[in-house]
Amino acid sequence: MRVSRFELRWRRFQRDTVGVAAVEFAMVLPLMLLACFGMIDVVQALMAKRKVTQLTLTIADLTARAASVTPNDVNGIFDAAQSIMAPLNATLAGMVVSSVVIDAKGVAKVCWSSQRNATALASGAPVTLPDSVRVPGTSVIMARATYRYTPTLGYVLTGSLTLGNNPIYTRPRAGQAAGTANIEQIVRTDTAACPS
């Protein structure tokens, strides 16, 4: 039986394994690049989340160290804390710091609240605190920070994510006994001490 030239070439082509690795690599390369760029976005998001947690801790800590604060002091605390976000865009960070006073019955209410790029809590508003923090006749500084993270490459994570918004509580370190119940607290000079 006579085999045509075409059939011979076809059989040789089927047996030929030269270039198989190049073809396989070309098929796998897009998946490898997607995984690589996806990991870049995930790692940057995790870094931003860590920085937001550190930002929140810093706001709470710096506020709790003062006996009293002025609005300028709070702005200075926000300025100092914002530097933690470098090299990320710090203007995308929202920050709130509040003094929460717990009365003798264990009811927690906001005494004062300050914000930057966020919404402050209303003075006198009730606050739900964890049992470990809600000690009658005391006060706490409650800080929250958020960050609007937009992935650099956006191959795996798309859109923007809001990171943070977890409250951190600290006790006043050098607070003043103030208000009608003489509760130790960080007093903001432009508001009345609580409870009034």
Asked whether residue 1 is domain-assigned, the answer is no
Question: Could you give phi then psi for residue 15, rounded to 5 degrees?
Answer: -85, -20
Residue 139's domain comprises 19-188
- Is the per-residue pLDDT at 185 higher than 80? yes
Q: What is the pLDDT of residues 119-173, one digit of tens each?
A: 999 999 999 999 999 999 999 999 999 999 988 776 566 778 899 999 999 999 8
Mean pLDDT throughout 93-113? 94
Is 194 part of any domain?
A: no
102: in domain: yes
Helix (H, G, I), strand (E, B) or coil at 116: strand
pLDDT in tens, 62-97: 999 998 899 999 999 999 988 999 899 989 999 999
In a domain, 26, yes or no: yes
Mean predicted confidence (pLDDT) in 114-122: 95
Alpha carbons 140 and 175: distance in angstroms, whole number: 10
Is residue 109 within 8 A of residue 163, CB to CB? The reply is no
Give a yes or no: residue 103 inside a domain.
yes
What average pLDDT does the structure give for the chain?
88
Asked if 52 contacts 145 with a C-beta cutoff of 8 angstroms, the reply is yes
User: What does the pLDDT read at residue 157?
Assistant: 62
CA distance 147 to 117: 10
pLDDT band at 189 (very low <50, low <70, confident <90, very high): confident
Total domains present in the chain: 1
- The answer to whether residue 31 sits within a structural domain is yes
Q: Is residue 39 included in any domain, yes or no?
A: yes
Whether 4 is covered by a domain: the verdict is no
Query: Residue 85: enclosing H or E segment and its boundaries?
Result: none
